[in-house]
Chain A
């Protein structure tokens, strides 16, 4: 089992819809969770960080964390074509000397 798994893509949604991206992790000692967006040929850029259970909202983006279920998700409301990118989930565990582990990413396409 991979340490960080993301729902296999690609994911396609129409413009204006809600895109839901999911990530599960295996290490119960994980404490820090991040979502990065990566456009094709570019470097990852941070979208959201979340450290405690519950929801965290920033504009059209909402990160949800459930440590009991070892699950973190990213919701993108009112999806725009400019949201088309690969989204990477990253997890840092206290038991792994603070090293980040990334999922393989989910590619999102928002169709006009």
Chain B
């Protein structure tokens, strides 16, 4: 039982490049989330998926897209990376929307 897994762990992109962050959970959770965390700050919600087949914008969705591929997997795509997207990205899942969330190990992204 791995919980929530994320790939890659580290990534360096040049401005304008694209990439997809992958997230998978094996806890049979319905809801999944993508957050970013900037130094000294809390977590800000980018997108979430309340259940398979649905996605919704969070607090900071601009510059990102998501896909809920199936119940297990939720990916985050940066179409044209910008230095302002340099951050640590966390994926999380929960049994239902109003329940506790479990986090993956994070992806440290640097955009130069």
Band of interface residues on B: 20 to 34
Beyond A45-B103, A102-B42, list 11 extra A-B contacts (CB 8 Å). Answer: A4-B42, A34-B100, A43-B103, A43-B104, A46-B100, A49-B100, A98-B50, A98-B97, A99-B59, A100-B43, A103-B42
Q: Are A99 and B103 in contact (CB under 8 A)?
A: no
Q: Are A99 and B45 in contact (CB under 8 A)?
A: yes
B contact set with A: CB distance below 8 Å:
31, 33, 35, 40-45, 48, 50, 56, 58-59, 90, 97-106
**Chain A interface residue count, Cβ-Cβ cutoff 8 angstroms:** 23
Q: Which of A43, A88, A101 has the most B CB atoms < 10 Å from its CB?
A: A43
Q: Which of B33, B48, B97, B98 has the most A CB atoms < 10 Å from its CB?
A: B98
With contacts A97-B56, A100-B45, A105-B42 taken as known, whether A92 is within 8 angstroms of B98 at the C-beta atoms is yes
Cβ–Cβ < 8 Å partners of B35 in chain A: 102
Q: With the chains together, A4 CA to B56 CA distance in Å? A: 21
Interface residue A7 (Cβ < 8 Å from any Cβ of B): no
